[in-house]
Amino acid sequence: MRLNKKDLNKILSILAEGRELFVPGQVRGIKQFKLWEGEAPELDGENTILPPKDILFPKTEKMYTYKTGTEAEIAEIVDMPERIIFGLRACDMRSIECMDSVFIREGFEDSFYARRRAKSLIVAIACSGAGVNCFCESMGLDPNAAPSADIFLSDGGDCYGVEANTERGAAELKKWAEYLTEGDVPKSETHCSLAPAMSRELSKKLTGIFDDDELWQEVTGPCIQCGTCSFVCPTCYCFDINQADAGGEGVAFRCWDSCMFSDYNQNAGGHNTRPTKKQRLRNRYLHKLAYFNERHGMELCVGCGRCISKCPAHLDIAEFIDKTAEVCHD
Amino acid sequence: MIEVNHDCTCQGNPLVPQVCRITDIRNETGDVKTFRVQSLDGKRPFLPMPGQLGMWSMLGVGEAMFSITAFGEDWIESSIKAVGELTEAMHELSVGDFVGLRGPYGNGFPVDALKGRDILFIGGGIGAAPVRSLIRWCAVHREQYGRFDIVCGARTIDDVPFREDFFENWPKMDNTGVHITVDRKTDNWNGSVAFIPDYVETLGLTPENRKVVMCGPSIMIRLTTERLAKLGFARGDIITSMETRMKCGIGKCGRCNIGSKYVCLDGPVFTLTELDELPAE
Amino acid sequence: MSRTGVFVCHCGSNIAGALDVERVAAAAGKLPGVRYAASYKYMCSEQGQQLVKDAIAEHELDRIVIASCSPRMHENTFRKLLKDTPVNPYMLEIANIREQCAWVHADREQATEKAVDLVRMAVAKVAKNKPLHSSFIPVHKKALVIGAGIAGIQAALDIADAGYEVTLLEKESSIGGHMVMLDKTFPTLDCSACISTPKMSEVAAHPNITLMTGSTVESVGGYVGNFDVAIRQKARYVNHDICTGCGLCETKCPAKVTSEFNQALCTRTAVFRPFPQAVPAKPVIDPESCRKLIGKAKCGVCQAVCPLGAIDFEDKDKLITDTYGAIVVATGYELVDWAPLYPEYGGGKYSDVITGLQYERLVNASGPTEGKILRPSDKSVPKDVVIVKCVGSRDKKKGRAYCSRACCMYSAKHAHQILEKIPGARVTVFYMDVRTPGKNYEEFYDRAREDGARYVRGRVAKIFRENGKLICRGEDTLLGRGVEVPADMVILETAMTPAQDIRELCAKLTISTDEYGWVQEAHPKLRPVETQTAGVYLAGACQGPKDIPDTVAQAGAAAAKVCILFSKNEIEGSPMISAVDENKCCGCSACVRVCPYRAVMLEEIDSRELSGAVKRQVARVNAGLCQGCGACAASCRTGAIDLLGFTNAQILKEVDALCL
Amino acid sequence: MSDIQSALRERARELLEDGKVEYVIGWESARGEDKTRPAFIRKAEDAGRLVWNRFCVNSTAKYLLHDRWPKGKIAVCARGCDTRAINRMLSDGQIKRENVYILGIPCEGVENKICQRCAHRNPLVYDELLGESVEEKTDFDRFANVREMQEMTLEQRRKMWEDEFTKCIRCYACRNVCPACSCRECYADQYRTGWQGKQFNSVENRVYGLTRAYHVGDRCIECGECERVCPMDLPIMLQTGKMLMQCNELFGDYECGLSADEIPALGTYNLNDADSFG
Amino acid sequence: MPVNKKWMPKILAFCCNWCTYTGADLAGLNRMKYPADVRVLRVPCSSRVNPQFVLRAFQKGCDGVMVCGCHPGDCHYTSGNYYTRRRFMVLKEMLEFNGIEPERFQTRWISGSEAAKFRDTVAEVSELVTKLGPNTVFNERRAENV
């Protein structure tokens, strides 16, 4: 189907009825997914700096309230509003697939995430401008398609090609009926600017170089062990559980955590299983490019390049891939 | 894949614990206490397999994973050593107080693989707790297993936990040898004074048809494995339970990974061969 | 959860009258961790304390909160109570709901609400308390007294009589200080030598006192009970073990140099005893004036003459170190150098314008003039004498605003002595005020005036020589006109100042001085003989100008303090001191800088780090010195050093509890 | 620029060859020539990787804290701000001067907005100076941004900081890059003691922001690294700048990192300090 | 908070044990009256107060914070209040710079004998903070944060 770009605002107001609509926009100079307040979303240009991860897997999520003392009781916090993520690109869509695989499909089902995911409608859009650090193609993605999104908009100059991939997407499209016209739009042809030599065999071989200390020392040298890469990465899903106590009662919450922090693996009694930054960054890279693959069949890196642009020490996962590819194949 | 039963949670959400009441607290040693709990409606919170863990939550302080060392008709028990702020806070609890509990987690000991075998149980200090859960299970199904040799090591005799099991119940089991050793001699003990690795060597056990179940500090495991290897034990026959930091307990938070394996989901029980495949972290 | 007991006190009607104590107890009962809450009429009474003991036993409580009067009143009472219960005395917090709540808020409802808040804060804090145990510091029962004037002598004697060993240091070659220079002492006019020389000989003979003259303190380390002191004894060049004090060498010594003891009124030889009754009664050689030691001439007469060969020119300074439990500072005073300050009084060029001490030497029987008052210029008997008071004292322009306290009395004494010893003498005293604060002081002053001393109220503006007389031009403020008094001799009663090297000594002892250099006492009214460094006491004029009666009283008080310290084998240090968590400390020495008592030092420890075993610096608290102020805990960014009893966790919980 | 670079490579090769230093910390070009990355050259033949150009923005000094007890000496390519960072760590007792071999580089300013406000382009302490010292820049007001901020009304400032701290994602990059942040265990990681909650909300962020400003305020060497690395572009230097301005006004002119034995302003006192207490 | 009652500010006062706390006790002994919205937190010396405690008080919902100590020169620990003076002269400016009304953070030297000064200070601060209204800038009480 086709949608005239002029009618985009009307579509957005349809989407925003009684639901929280998140669109890419500027918040004090930082492009991120923000609540839509009627302005035109920034769909083109580079991808958002902060991923949409915060919507499905919030920075701080209250899990349950508790009371101690004689009548101790625990009450789960359940209310979840309906949400819509509009203007998602292929790489962020893949990150949601990864998180679905972790939180829903494997082992226990994480009820918090599952509930949020069930109440979220995702409207993806074809990638209109690859950033200088993008390499999603070499991670096996097609920037111009998002098969697992509910609705996908492809860019046709003055109009969007609209197609629904899921029944929920189709149901939603019915509401757009009056603005849709027949006809489809050719697939756009944006390509990534980077192409690191990532491949399925490299993913297998990576665990082989686990003990190559000299390589790891050189790769992890400049790292300053901050959490920037974890918190701007769309697929990092590690979290910490904590309790905010207010004198005998309070809230238990989970919040983002980063494997790069020094107290991440701090056991009671002082022993730390990964005390040095070499071990921690090695674990991060291997988890993204190898370990996750063994369990879920896809890499945990979607090639969005956010960690490359934001790393204070200018570390670069794409360069890492090229270097290890070179080391692994000989 | 991993079969999952989590019937002790609040309306099925694996991350939200259920309130349970402490019905009994026993002082095992100076710094180890065993807490027995029951859910509010007086029933057993969940039916754990031997070696499985429960996530104990002291409301307002924090959560930690402890192996379920024993269970009965309407209770389960865990032994907790006071090492950090949370465990010290729990040691201040008294009977009738409430804790949060969710579980069971972990894959538990491979009871089927052990069927028909002689078993050497080794428990180092608080490591005796997970081993005890397996011994109690094997005691119930005694006929399915061969000879038992139970070894317990501790700093001094006063640090040996579960005294009535080690000294009364288990020696009475047929075809069972109970061997206690301590690091440091005290006047109320005249038995063996030796580190576990050396002591195990003196027991003269043969590797044929025998599996070893060993839990305790990692140095003890490493040294004892070397001695067992000298005695001819294959690494595949040695089973241990990993003691790492676990946060969520359901394989999501990423904290307890060794390579691609999650200790709380794929473990904590591994054979040494499985551990060798993982990257040496 | 912790098992806390809360006890709310009615304090008769003091608290119960102003707020609803039952509601406070009920609210406390619901707080987390509180297992027992009750209220009682008088918690500090015998029954009240028994109530606490019973509750502890019955409910197995492990920490207690008392909501009552100020902790400054009964914190110790309740700590002693807990000593004979299984609960550690420091698992206790007090909520002040009397002085800071019941008594100061009229509105009963608001007062009750505030009391509930205060109890909640105390319960939240006590939950984080840890059992604390006092640390014990050994005490070396040996005292060091610095300065052997009457203050040092009296203190040393008292301590020694109490049975403890004392080392008495004196910078000069003989003990006695300034008092032994005086002739008579007011107000009883008994002879100074008669009351001080017996004490001096008692000191020399006392088995417990080790006397070290010509000695100063080189360095002081350690802390109360364990001061490691290095003492430098100047070379005497006379072996006092062999020397019998016959004095033959003194008669033969060719060198002549001004005698400091006699205030430069006469000279002394290089090998000398400052005054006949000196203790130790054996001479020493002054290296600056002995011709052989200066290397000017071969001399060595005294060595040749000495029958026992006691002279030894190769003698060297000796450095002796010892450990002392307490130190008494008794370094006394000096007279201000008035000459540069008062050019208008001749600036020292008139030899007949003398200071009070110079007069004392003139009138003293063992002085240069054997007691006859002869004016230094022509040794004639002065008929007209003018005494000028407050020279250098009470005068901001000359740099000292304080009053030197004793000069009013000894100027009256001088007037009385002159009138008595020189028949027909005329004495004029220029005064600002006359202060006679002691027993029989006023009567003594009256007698001086009855003897004929003429008191003129006004300050002397100028002293100049005119046809053989010293004209003292001043002003008589009572008559409102200028006045000029011709005089044969003028006595200036100059201001007292601290000894010159007092500031370095105080720096070594880590005690402070005020802007003039007088040693700073711990508290002017409540702790006058203590300093803010534990174990260092002070006596006499080093703390401020004073006369002999006050000096001796202070010396006795300082000795008593030392004896209190020595009465126990070890001092129980308060356990509420700082403690360092070594694996958090990065050795940045922020705490070392802020500690007022230098109780925190960096120390090297062996530490297992990622890169193997290394040596690194961490802070270490000296339990003896730490007074528990907590400045270090607030300066430590990572919370490695914390003040037990007021830890960061406790205060944070207290702040949180307030806002629930 | 390029003769310094060749001198740098030359000296690095010599130092590594005769084993005087264990490794050299400098910069090497990253992907694309407009980006460099800190480099740790251990072998003499790798010395060629060292570069010096206007894209060398990362501070090299803080990496000394990643190896506090080195076996041998560590060579550091240090610009003016890096040498101030080294002085900072020396004053805090975190590194030993004998462990560091400083290759001083006079710097005309790199691609970093802080360089317009840099008063110490020449290295303050060095073992070798690679190139003649450049003329210092003095035509700027060190606290221009702070003064401009103070013109705003209280309400405006409140709103501005409210938004800024809502953006913060607590990645702690500003802490991990700051030479004044040298604690073994940061207060923010000790949530057992309860200083700082783990929640990500604007209040906890504000507490973190203000606490860190207070911890490093009187020792901040104004190297601008915290603002450079902040992924959310928070104006962190405003906070420490305000602290320094206060120290300047209250305790006499105050600049940090100028010598190796400085005492921070809040760690000492002066009897006649300004006193507006009631 | 029952709606009919006039809103009462919550003010926390860090008082040094040797001077201000004694002064407060003295005010009690003399039965002086002052508003009931100040809660005193006893510390051994004003130099024990870590600026982070003040931030914590504001974060947890206090409407006003006071730090009181001995007059410079009278400190029982000789130099404690000199550090207090520097720390909180700077913190006062930082709070204002961050948009918190400066009147909410008061610092006073009150000696053991100045009971009247303690009463007047409490009255003055209580009135000032009541005029300013509840502290919403920093306060964790707001819905989205708890």
Backbone angles phi, psi at A203, to 5 degrees: -60, -40
Q: C605 and chain D: CB distance < 8 Å anywhere?
A: no
Name the minimum distance, in Å, from the CA of B75 to any CA of chain C.
21
Q: Other CB atoms closer than 10 Å to residue D47's CB: what's the count?
A: 21
Which positions 65-124 of B are in contact with A (Cβ < 8 Å)? 83-84, 86-87, 98, 100
Q: Does domain C235-316 have CATH number 1.20.120?
A: no
Closest CA of chain C from A264, distance in Å = 17
Identity of the residue in E82, E98, E106 whose CB atom sits nearest the CB atom of D269: E82
Per residue in A198-238, pLDDT (tens digit) is 888 888 888 888 888 889 999 999 999 999 999 999 999 99
Instruction: Check CB contact under 8 Å for A273 and B18.
Output: no
CB E84 within 8 A of CB E71: no
What pLDDT is recorded for position B8?
57
**How confident is the model at residue A211, as a pLDDT?**
86
Mean pLDDT computed over C43-70: 93
Asked if the Cβ–Cβ distance from D273 to E85 is below 8 Å, we say yes
Residues β-bridged to residue A162: A153
Strands C318-324 and C226-233: antiparallel
Residue E140: the pLDDT is: 59
D252 φ/ψ angles, rounded to the nearest 5 degrees: 90, 155
E143 vs D: CB within 8 A: no
Neighbours of chain D (3+ CB pairs under 8 A): A, C, E
Touch of A by D (3+ CB pairs closer than 8 Å): yes
| CATH number of residue E135's parent domain | 3.40.50
Q: Which residues pair with D78 in a beta bridge?
A: D104
**How far apart (Å, rounded) are the C-alpha atoms in residues C617 and C638?**
15
List CB contacts of C1: < 8 A, sequence separation 6 or more: A68, B89, B92, B93, B97, C32, C33
- What is the rounded CA–CA span in Å between residue D168 and residue D187? 18
Q: Does D183 touch chain C (CB under 8 A)?
A: yes
Q: How many CB pairs under 8 A join D and E?
A: 104
Give C48's contacts (C-beta < 8 A, 6+ positions apart): C7, C9, C40, C41, C42
Q: Is B118-241 assigned to CATH 3.90.1150.10? A: no
Task: Please name every residue paired with C219 in a beta bridge, in sequence order, or none if there are none.
Answer: C230
pLDDT at E142 over 70: no
Where do the domains of chain C lie?
4-128, 142-231+321-332+500-566, 235-316, 334-497, 578-644
Please tell me the pTM assigned to this model.
Answer: 0.83
- Shortest distance, CA A185 to any CA of chain B (angstroms): 40
Rounded Cα gap, residues C546 and C528, in angstroms = 13
Q: Does C656 touch chain B (CB under 8 A)?
A: no
B and E touching (3 or more beta-carbon pairs closer than 8 Å): no
Q: Do B84 and A241 touch (CB under 8 A)?
A: no
C120 in contact with A, Cβ within 8 Å? yes
Which D positions 192-221 lie with beta carbon below 8 A of chain C? Answer: 193-195, 215
Residue C515 has pLDDT above 70, yes or no: yes
Give percent of chain C with pLDDT exceeding 70: 100
* pLDDT at position A24 over 80: yes
A181, A208, A232 - which closes a domain: A181
Query: Cα distance from B257 to chain C (closest Cα, Å)?
Result: 21
Tell me chain D's radius of gyration from C-alpha atoms: 20
pLDDT digits (tens, 9 = 90+) for C115-165: 999 999 999 999 999 999 988 889 999 999 999 999 999 999 999 999 999
Q: Are A117 and A148 in contact (CB under 8 A)?
A: no
pLDDT recorded at residue B217? 87
- ipTM here: 0.91
Of B133, B125, B110, the residue nearest B53 (C-alpha)? B133
Dist CA C97 CA C120 (whole Å): 12
Size of interface A-E (CB pairs under 8 A): 3
Q: What is the mean pLDDT of chain B?
A: 87
Burial of A58 (0-12, 13-18, 19+ CB in 10 A): middle
End-to-end alpha carbon distance in chain C: 19
Residues of chain A contacting C124 with CB distance shorter than 8 Å: 247
Top-confidence residue, E143 or A298:
A298
Count of domains in chain E? 1
pLDDT score recorded for residue A212: 86
Region of poorest pLDDT, from A64-73, B47-56, C1-10, C29-38 = A64-73
Question: Is residue B281 pLDDT above 70, yes or no?
Answer: no
The amino acid occupying position A205 is K
Is the CB of residue C611 less than 8 Å away from at least one CB of chain A?
no
Compute the distance between CA of residue E60 and CA of residue C652 in angstroms, rounded to an integer.
10
* Residues in chain D closer than 8 A to C584 (CB atoms): 183-185, 190
* pLDDT for residue C195: 87
Query: Domain of E107?
Result: 11-145
The neighbouring-strand residues paired with C414 are: none
The angle, 0 to 180 degrees and rounded to 10, between the axes of the packed helices E51-60 and E80-97 is 40
pLDDT tens digit at each of 278 positions of chain D: 678 999 999 999 999 999 999 999 999 998 877 899 999 999 999 999 999 999 999 999 999 999 999 988 999 999 999 999 999 999 999 999 999 999 999 999 899 999 998 999 999 999 999 989 899 988 889 999 999 999 999 999 999 998 999 999 999 999 999 999 999 999 998 877 888 888 888 888 999 999 999 999 999 999 999 999 999 999 999 999 999 999 999 998 899 999 999 999 999 998 888 888 87
Element (H, E) at C502: helix C502-508
As a whole number of angstroms, the distance between CA A288 and CA A98 comes to 11
State the smallest CA–CA distance between residue A72 and chain C in angstroms: 11
Compare CB distances from A247 to C583, C610, C660 and report the shortest one's residue: C660
Q: pLDDT higher for A188 or A258?
A: A258
Pairing outcome for strands B210-215 and B238-241: parallel
- Residues of chain E with C-beta less than 8 angstroms from the C-beta of C118: 39
Residues of E with CB under 8 A from a CB of C: 8, 10, 12, 17, 21-22, 24-25, 27-29, 31-37, 39-45, 47-50, 53, 56-57, 60-62, 76-80, 83, 87, 119
pLDDT at A248 over 50: yes
Quick one: average pLDDT of A306-310?
93
Matching CATH topology for C235-316 and C578-644? yes
Among D93, D185, D187, the residue with its CB nearest the CB of C589 is D93
Two tokens, residue C143? 């005292």
CATH of B18-105, one of 3.90.550.10, 3.40.50.12780, 3.20.20.150, 2.40.30.10: 2.40.30.10
Residue E102 lies in a domain: yes
SS3 C558: helix
- When scoring A32, A54, A224, A309 by the number of chain D Cβ atoms within 10 A, the one with the most, hence best to mutate, is A224
Which residue has tokens 């400066």?
E102
DSSP codes joined into one string, A245-312: ESSSEEEEEEEE--TTSTTTTB-TTS-BSS-SHHHHHHHHHHIIIIIHHHHHSS-S-----HHHHH-T
Q: Determine, for residues B253 and A238 on separate chains, whether the beta-carbon distance falls below 8 Å.
A: yes
Comparing A129-133, B16-20, B257-261, C158-162, which segment has the lowest mean pLDDT?
A129-133
Contact residues for E23 (Cβ-Cβ < 8 A; gap 6+): E110, E111, E112, E113, E114, E115, E117, E118
- Residues D110 and B205: their CA atoms lie apart, in Å, by 71
Do A273 and A210 lie in one domain? The reply is yes
- Res B10 pLDDT > 60: no
Question: E51-60 and D202-217 helices cross at what angle (nearest 10)?
Answer: 170
Confidence of residue E33 (pLDDT cuts 50, 70, 90): very high
| CA–CA separation, C367 and C361 (whole Å) | 5
> Do C90 and C645 contact (CB within 8 A), yes or no?
yes
Structure confidence by residue, pLDDT tens digits, C346-388: 888 998 999 999 999 999 888 888 888 998 888 899 999 999 9
Report phi then psi at D72, rounded to 5: -125, -165
Residues on chain D touching A305 (C-beta within 8 angstroms)? none
Whether A314 and D58 lie within 8 Å, measured CB to CB: yes
**Residue E8: closest CA among chain C residues belongs to which residue?**
C110
Q: What is the pLDDT of residue C500?
A: 85
CA angle E40, E41, E45 (to 5 degrees): 115
Give me the residues paired with residue A236 across strands: none
Q: Which CATH number does the domain C578-644 belong to among 3.30.70.3270, 3.30.70.2190, 3.30.9.100, 3.30.450.20? A: 3.30.70.3270
Q: Is the peptide bond before C187 cis (omega within 30 degrees of 0)?
A: yes
**Which residue do the tokens 């109530």 mark?**
C51
One domain, residues A215 and A261: yes
What is the average pLDDT value for chain D, to the nearest integer? Answer: 92
What is the residue-averaged pLDDT of chain C?
91
Using H for helix, E for strand and C for coil, what is the string for chain B?
Answer: CCCCCCCECECCECCCCEEEEEEEEEEEECCEEEEEEEECCCCCCCCCCCCCEEEEEECCCEEEEEEEEEECCCCEEEEEECCCHHHHHHHCCCCCCEEEEEEEECCCCCCCCCCCCEEEEEEEHHHHHHHHHHHHHHHHCHHHCCCEEEEEEECCHHHCCCHHHHHHHHHHCCCEEEEEEECCCCCCCCCEECCHHHHHHHCCCCCCCEEEEEECCHHHHHHHHHHHHHCCCCHHHEEEECCCCCCCCCCCCCCCEECCEECCCCCCEEEHHHHHHCCCC
- DSSP 8-state assignment for residue C512: -
Residues of chain B with CATH 3.40.50.80: 118-241
Residues of chain E in contact with residue A244, where contact means CB-CB under 8 angstroms, are 146
Q: For B3-23, what is the mean pLDDT?
A: 75
**D201, A218: Cβ pair inside 8 Å?**
no
Quote the minimal CA–CA distance from D146 to chain E in Å.
9
- Residue A231 sits in the same domain as residue A306: yes
Mean pLDDT of chain A: 89
DSSP C622-643: -TTT-----HHHHH-TT--EEE
CATH number of C142-231+321-332+500-566: 3.50.50.60
| Number of domains chain A is built from | 2
With DSSP H G I counted as helix, E B as strand and the rest as coil, what are the percentages for chain C, rounded to 5?
A: 30, 25, 45
Chain-chain contact of E32 with C655 (C-beta, under 8 angstroms): no
Q: What mean pLDDT do residues A48-75 have?
A: 89
Mean pLDDT value of segment B143-172: 90
**Is the Cβ–Cβ distance between B123 and B28 less than 8 Å?**
no
- Contact D199/A at CB under 8 A: yes
Which pLDDT score, from 0 to 100, does residue B2 have?
47
Res C34 pLDDT > 60? yes
Q: How does B190-202 read in b/e, with b if 16+ C-beta sit within 10 Å?
A: eebeebbbebbee
Q: Are residues A160 and A22 in the same domain?
A: yes
Q: Which residues of C touch B89 (CB under 8 A)?
A: 1
Query: For residue range B198-251, what is the model confidence (pLDDT) as tens digits?
Result: 888 888 888 888 999 999 888 888 899 888 888 888 888 899 988 777 888 888
Q: Is E3 near chain A, with CB under 8 Å?
A: no
pLDDT at residue E21 tops 80: yes
Closest-CA distance, C514 to chain E, in angstroms, reads 11
Which among A69, A247, A276 has the least Cβ separation from residue C657?
A247
pLDDT tens-digit series, residues D234-272:
999 999 999 999 999 999 889 999 999 999 999 999 888
The answer, yes or no, to whether residue C1 has pLDDT greater than 80, is no
> Residue E4 pLDDT more than 60?
no
D interface mutation test: which of C638, C641, C653 has the most D CBs within 10 A?
C638
Q: Find which of D99, D185, D208 to mutate to test the C interface (most C CBs within 10 Å of its CB).
A: D185
- Phi/psi at C266 (nearest 5 deg)? -150, -175
pLDDT for the residue numbered E146: 42
Whether the Cβ atoms of residue C142 and residue C88 lie closer than 8 Å to each other = no
Q: Is the pLDDT of residue B279 over 70?
A: yes
CB atoms within 10 A of CB B19: 22
- Of residues A54, A234, E60, E141, the one with CA closest to residue D200: A54
What is the extent of the structural domain holding A7?
2-51+79-181
3-state secondary structure (DSSP) of residue C534: coil
**CATH class of the structural domain C334-497:** alpha beta
**Model pLDDT, residue C141:** 95
Do the chains contact at C32 and B60, CB–CB below 8 Å? yes
Phi, psi of D104 (to 5 degrees): -75, 135
* Confidence class for position B35, pLDDT limits 50, 70, 90: very high
Q: Which residue has the higher pLDDT, A191 or D178?
A: D178
